Structure 1
Amino acid sequence: MLQRFSEATPRSTGYRRRPVPGGPGAEKIVGLTAAGLIAAAEALGDDREMGGHARGAGRTGAPHAMLVNEIVVNAVTGTTTHDAPPRTDPRQAPPRRTLPCGPLPGGLDAWATEAPHTITGKHTIIPDAVLRAPELGIPVLFLELDRGTMTDIADVAAKLNNYKRWFDKTVKDTDGYDRTIFEVTYGTTHDRRPYGYYPAYMVRPPVAFVLDPGTRGSRPRFTPDALRRRMKALRDATSDHWAGMRHGDEGVTYYTTVQLGVHMIRTVLPDTPALRCEGRALHVGRTTATAEARVVGAHDGRLYAHGTTTCAILRG
């Protein structure tokens, strides 16, 4: 497993260079067999010391890291081993089936794993993976994998609290202005509508939690029903970060739909390429708000559906 990473610090004076997934930065080689070490040396094209086989990594070890690798491979190749035909020869790699959405743009260079993001001198968040896909309107996305090894779902939800601490951290940019560290680190400073939202200084990157059944011995740690309950528990435990907006002494703002109109333009089939949903608020008043959304092809921009909604604003 080749992990490329740089210390995720801004390009301001006195800081290290900003990370470029797949670009310059520290690199480490872990969990490779002898043949894998040779292949890595050929791919990197230099004579560095490749090291040995990481302790605990291999066919039966490091399941968390192996599953993160599988997620990245699925995204890069547009294939998966899930529900694929059974393997006829145990000496061959598991068969893979093609995903309807196809591969994500950017290839392997769009991904980085275990990139440290320093909150304070003693506190650091290390996402399992980081995706940069500006072609899809995603300047940066952080991925966290949960295999159920943390029994208390509150411990998993606490990761989002640490992300918020990093997102809200401000540093001085090269022009002397204070900006959020993620704007400076990932180059979204001049994006007036990151992720399609405005104002830019209030927008924070998405954090995607991937929940896996995990294993306990030779059996899954969670049944499908138990995994759904864990997903619901995680949703409820993180609701402070996404349920409503707080406006000082006015309390929390919630929304309820008053009117909804949806128009289907093209059929979406199992082999339809990747789609992107774009939404924006047209008007936000004290009692009502109007918004519109479109579903378009991620690669060709073709319109598949569009809709509008009017919402009542309820202040708690």
Structure 2
Amino acid sequence: MKQTWKPTHTRKKEVLKALGIFQRATAEHLWRMLRPGDSHDRITRDTLNALKDDGKVRVETRLESNHQLWVLTERGHKEAKQLLPGNVRVSSLRKLEFDDDGEPITGEGYDEHAAAVTMTAAVLTGAGYGTPLSWQTEIAHRLPYGYTQYADLTMRAPDAGVPAMLLEVDRVNEPVDDLVAKLRRYTDWFELLAPKADKDRERVARAFGGARVHDLRLWSRIYPATGREGYVPVAFVFTGKTKAQRASRMRRLEQDARTYFAGTEYAGGGITAVDYHQAVPVVVTELERITADPDGAAGKVWRRLGRNEWQTLTEALDNPDGDRLYVVQAEQARKRQKEREAAAREAQRPVCRRCGAKFTDDRWDSIRHHPAQQHRELCEPCLHEHWEQVQAEQAARRQAEEAAAREAAEADAKKGRGLFGRRR
């Protein structure tokens, strides 16, 4: 079906709101973010030009890639403020400045890193991870030792299975040690106690493990529950240089930052599940990999550090080797322990000295609870048989004694009758 290249009121509002959040963007950024279903960015460019005619946007500069960089005018900035919800932070206005000759000064300060940050938000939004309103840039995470860790992006996309995620964009130009330091500082921030939180309760909760400790920490007051074990996930999005250089960088980050994402072992034999409750889930991807995949950011373009396979984002954030596996393995361990205890108990079960049969539980309990009872070596049936035999023997003896007594009495009676008969 042929697309109609006509800017609409809805599309204009979308562009104004997106620029209100991200401040500066190219037509490609806005196309991938707002209308990924379009076959290319032509209608987005037409929309920008229509807004330019309305005096609401302007071209600030042209990038090395030859893309035009668009920003809001004062009029467009005011309208964007009205369109955006009150809880969304609106970016500052990029005012048009002039030189001494009255010529507009070309915008500066928008480097390739900023372009990669906006592109990251664009491809994720286009893949269904939230909307432009789901994003915030340069969110501060203040630490008690005087450092503030800023996240390039924060995303909230609960409908896509990612309630919150922090993103760092790297153009393969920062030392890996700096990336590891970011994870260390994020971990420090995640472990901060919430105001008025009970330190003793936090220590107890930490000792027992599990998710209860997070209720006492600052991050749970700012970000929504993740729905998974661990802290808010952190994503590193790499771009630039060569594929081999990006792959090498991901491997080095994985090696050096393991202490922050690897989790800890659960206690108990036979348990291979990992306790991720005090760990930062870290995923990595590449902008080049995302844009080359037919499914974009919704495809298998994410890798969880500590794993080898590429997965979808929700698969990468999931913990099949975490609590769910622990519940199964712990139950299996309890079952095996019961079996071992049962086997050990069975090995001690007494055997009847008469018939060789093993004692029943009731018979075994009986001889344990009544150690003075007779015939402890006999099982229940043999014991009954023994007592029946004893009773039969006793009855036979009584009968024999009674018969003997009767015979003696009869003999005495006969003797008596004989004497009296002779006297008569």
SS of residue in 1 equivalent to 2:124: helix
Structure 1 residues 61-90: Cα deviation after superposition (integer angstroms, max 9, x where no partner): 4211121011111222x2xxxxxxxxxxxx
Q: Tell me if the contact between 1:32 and 1:53 (Cα under 8 Å) persists in the aligned partners.
A: no
**Paired residues, what number?**
202
Query: Which position in structure 2 is the counterpart of 1:230?
Result: 249
SS of residue in 1 equivalent to 2:168: strand
Query: Which position in structure 2 is the counterpart of 1:262?
Result: none
SS of residue in 1 equivalent to 2:194: strand
Q: How far off its partner does 1:53 sit? A: 5.7
Q: How far off its partner does 1:135 sit? A: 1.5
Counting only pairs closer than 5 Å after superposition, residues 67-106 of structure 1 correspond to structure 2 as 67-76=116-125, 78=126, 102-105=127-130
Cα distance in 1 between the residues matched to 2:173 and 2:92: 34
Q: How far off its partner does 1:270 sit? A: 5.4
Matched AA of 1:195: G
Cα distance in 1 between the residues matched to 2:254 and 2:121: 24
| 187 and 244 in structure 1: CA distance in 2 versus 1, 3 angstrom threshold | closer
Does 2:226 match 1:181? Answer: no
User: Which residue among 200, 214, 236 is the counterpart of 1:209?
Assistant: 236
| 146 and 44 in structure 1: CA distance in 2 versus 1, 3 angstrom threshold | same
Query: Which position in structure 2 is the counterpart of 1:295?
Result: none
Structure 1 residues 192-235: Cα deviation after superposition (integer angstroms, max 9, x where no partner): xx4333xxxxx21111011112xxxxxxxx32212211111111
Q: How far off its partner does 1:120 sit? A: 1.6
User: Which residue among 160, 167, 189 is the counterpart of 1:136?
Assistant: 160
| 155 and 288 in structure 1: CA distance in 2 versus 1, 3 angstrom threshold | farther
User: Which residue among 99, 106, 113 is the counterpart of 1:64?
Assistant: 113
Query: Which position in structure 1 is the counterpart of 2:260?
Result: 241
SS of residue in 2 equivalent to 1:45: helix
Q: Which runs of 5+ in 1 are unaligned?
A: 5-30, 79-101, 189-193, 198-202, 214-221, 257-268, 290-316
Rg larger for: 2
Q: Tell me if the contact between 1:146 and 1:210 (Cα under 8 Å) persists in the aligned partners.
A: yes
Normalised by the size of structure 1, how large is the TM-score? Answer: 0.52
Query: Which position in structure 2 is the counterpart of 1:113?
Result: 137
Q: Tell me if the contact between 1:157 and 1:238 (Cα under 8 Å) persists in the aligned partners.
A: yes
Query: Which position in structure 2 is the counterpart of 1:169?
Result: 192
Cα distance in 1 between the residues matched to 2:259 and 2:193: 22
User: Which residue among 15, 36, 41 is the counterpart of 2:71?
Assistant: 36
User: Which residue among 148, 159, 162 is the counterpart of 2:182?
Assistant: 159
Q: How far off its partner does 1:137 sit? A: 3.0
Structure 1 residues 86-119: Cα deviation after superposition (integer angstroms, max 9, x where no partner): xxxxxxxxxxxxxxxx3323x1111111011111
SS of residue in 1 equivalent to 2:72: helix
Matched AA of 1:66: A
Cα distance in 2 between the residues matched to 1:174 and 1:283: 33
User: Which residue among 50, 62, 70 is the counterpart of 2:93?
Assistant: 50
Normalised by the size of structure 2, how large is the TM-score? Answer: 0.40
Does 2:146 match 1:122? Answer: yes
Q: How far off its partner does 1:254 sit? A: 6.0
Q: Which runs of 5+ in 2 are unaligned?
A: 1-18, 23-57, 62-69, 84-90, 98-104, 203-215, 275-292, 299-311, 335-424
Matched AA of 1:207: V
Cα distance in 2 between the residues matched to 1:246 and 1:118: 30
Q: Tell me if the contact between 1:32 and 1:58 (Cα under 8 Å) persists in the aligned partners.
A: no
Matched AA of 2:71: G
Cα distance in 2 between the residues matched to 1:41 and 1:73: 23
SS of residue in 2 equivalent to 1:210: strand
SS of residue in 2 equivalent to 1:113: strand
Cα distance in 2 between the residues matched to 1:284 and 1:73: 41
Matched AA of 2:231: R
Q: Tell me if the contact between 1:244 and 1:254 (Cα under 8 Å) persists in the aligned partners.
A: no
| 166 and 45 in structure 1: CA distance in 2 versus 1, 3 angstrom threshold | same
Structure 1 residues 18-66: Cα deviation after superposition (integer angstroms, max 9, x where no partner): xxxxxxxxxxxxx9739722233332239x9835269x99588421112
SS of residue in 1 equivalent to 2:237: strand
| 124 and 211 in structure 1: CA distance in 2 versus 1, 3 angstrom threshold | same
Cα distance in 2 between the residues matched to 1:132 and 1:75: 11
Bigger relative CO (Cα 8 Å, ≥ 6 apart) = 1
Cα distance in 2 between the residues matched to 1:133 and 1:195: 12
SS of residue in 2 equivalent to 1:69: helix
Counting only pairs closer than 5 Å after superposition, residues 253-268 of structure 1 correspond to structure 2 as none
Cα distance in 2 between the residues matched to 1:163 and 1:156: 11
Q: Tell me if the contact between 1:132 and 1:141 (Cα under 8 Å) persists in the aligned partners.
A: yes
User: Which residue among 313, 316, 330 is the counterpart of 1:285?
Assistant: 330
SS of residue in 2 equivalent to 1:122: coil
| 225 and 175 in structure 1: CA distance in 2 versus 1, 3 angstrom threshold | closer
Q: How far off its partner does 1:3 sit? A: 4.6
Cα distance in 2 between the residues matched to 1:123 and 1:32: 36
